[in-house]
């Protein structure tokens, strides 16, 4: 789930979980404080945009070619 707003992601997670109890739900949030709410809504994994960007920056410093590959994904 990757929406522009965290509250929309919560609603999508709730709906997806109702439609399929066994679905693997991975959601992106913009604000770290919303991650627990998304987990409570049924997401199995939650990725925070800021932390993902920070990891990409760190990876690019350690291995520029790996950073380039991640950008392409």
CATH number at residue 27: 3.40.50.720
For 18, the 3-state DSSP assignment is helix
Give the pLDDT score at 30: 92
14, part of any domain: yes
Q: Which domain holds residue 19?
A: 6-64
Residue 72, pLDDT above cutoff 80: no
- Could you identify the residue written with the tokens 């950008």? 71
- Going by pLDDT thresholds of 50, 70 and 90, the confidence category of residue 52 is confident
Looking at the structure of the chain, the number of domains it has is 1
Q: How confident is the model over 31-50, as pLDDT tens digits?
A: 999 999 999 999 999 988 87
Please tell me the predicted confidence (pLDDT) of residue 27. Answer: 95
Up-side HSE of residue 23: CA atoms within 13 Å toward CB?
17
């Amino acid at each position: 789930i990757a929406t522009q707003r965290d509250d929309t992601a919560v609603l999508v997670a709730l709906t997806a979980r109702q439609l399929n109890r066994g679905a693997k739900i991975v959601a992106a949030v913009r604000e770290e404080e919303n991650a627990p709410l998304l987990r409570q809504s049924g997401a199995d994994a939650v990725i925070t945009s800021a932390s993902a960007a920070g990891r990409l920056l760190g990876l690019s410093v350690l291995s520029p070619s790996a950073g380039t590959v991640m950008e392409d994904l």
